[in-house]
């Protein structure tokens, strides 16, 4: 049965992408003259991820925490990275963020077109010139008062342990003078495992935490900011894991 539901979820997701392209394109055309940061086109694109997740019969997603009072401040949002499903989950937060994403995804027909309309930022891993260009792109989005979203692990972790966080997101936040916005994710590893495109039954949560100011920080503070953020995210994701386990145990007893 799960294989059938997974196939159905793929059909629904592809349908959402194809139909949603016209929705995003319409928002892009209407708002482009006055929305330099492509906030509205980006938000429309994230709504497609929300729709695909809600129509997936195998997934149950929740988000909570204290939303930033002014999402246009902006922020450098960072999160742990468990699977591709993280993107669908984090898109549920009710504000727009431009995603730093692998350049290969931008080459996917329709999906890549919408990412460009949303002004997400491509990066080619291992290429210094691409990293420099991507960081410049992130600074451009922040200057237009739109937050950016970065996975500081750089790739999905194969185990339950966080990978080391890279410096880029934290150096960017300090140089741009914007706060770090930590987000903890749990449960998405069960939604779609690494090296697999099959959907699996899972419950997942994401929690946004209080922003970490960078006022007065210099590049000498990058390592301390990085390590502090990693510790906060690691601790909170473990809280989320316990909450998910308790919910599962409660449903099992009720059943």
Residue with tokens 């930590």: 182
pLDDT in tens, 166-202: 999 999 999 999 999 999 999 999 898 567 678 999 9
Please report the pLDDT score of residue 3 as a whole number.
78
User: d(Cα 146, Cα 186) in Å, to the nearest integer?
Assistant: 25
The pair of three-digit structure tokens given for residue 63, joined into one six-digit string: 């988000």
- Bond into 74 cis (ω within 30): yes
Parallel/antiparallel/unpaired status of strands 121-123 and 147-150: unpaired
Please report the pLDDT score of residue 81 as a whole number.
95
pLDDT interval class at 71 (50, 70, 90): confident
User: d(Cα 181, Cα 211) in Å, to the nearest integer?
Assistant: 5
* C-alpha pair distances (Å), 97 with each of 19, 118, 159, 221: 22, 10, 27, 24
pLDDT interval class at 255 (50, 70, 90): low
pLDDT in tens, 115-142: 999 999 999 987 889 999 999 999 999 9
User: d(Cα 170, Cα 155) in Å, to the nearest integer?
Assistant: 17
pLDDT interval class at 208 (50, 70, 90): very high
What's the CATH number where 141 sits? Answer: 3.40.1130.10
Q: How many domains does the chain have?
A: 1
Q: What is the pTM of this model?
A: 0.94
**Residue numbers of the domain that contains 242:** 2-254
Residue 72 has pLDDT above 70, yes or no: yes
Higher pLDDT, 67 or 197: 67
């Amino acid at each position: 049965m799960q294989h059938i539901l997974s196939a159905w979820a793929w059909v629904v997701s592809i349908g959402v992408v194809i139909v949603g392209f016209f929705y995003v394109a319409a928002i892009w055309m209407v708002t482009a003259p006055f929305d330099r940061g492509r906030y509205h086109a980006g938000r429309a694109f994230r709504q497609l991820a929300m729709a695909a997740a809600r129509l997936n019969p195998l997934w149950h997603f929740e988000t909570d925490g204290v939303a930033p009072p002014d999402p246009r401040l902006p922020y450098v949002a960072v999160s742990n990275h468990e699977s591709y499903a993280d993107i669908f989950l984090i898109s549920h937060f009710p504000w727009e963020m431009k995603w730093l994403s692998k350049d290969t995804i931008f080459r996917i027909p329709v999906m890549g077109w919408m990412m460009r309309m949303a002004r997400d930022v491509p990066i080619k891993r291992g290429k210094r010139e691409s990293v420099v260009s991507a960081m410049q792109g992130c600074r451009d989005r922040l200057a237009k008062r739109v937050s950016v979203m970065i996975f500081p692990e750089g790739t999905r972790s194969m185990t339950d342990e966080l990978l080391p966080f890279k410096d880029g997101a934290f150096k960017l936040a300090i140089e741009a003078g914007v706060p770090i916005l930590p987000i903890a994710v749990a449960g998405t590893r069960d939604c779609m495992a690494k090296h697999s495109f099959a959907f699996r039954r899972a419950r997942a949560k994401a929690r946004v935490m209080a922003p970490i100011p960078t006022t007065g920080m210099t590049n000498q503070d990058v390592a301390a900011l990085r390590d502090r953020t990693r510790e906060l995210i690691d601790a909170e994701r473990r809280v989320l894991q316990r909450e998910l386990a308790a919910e599962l145990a409660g449903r099992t007893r009720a059943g």
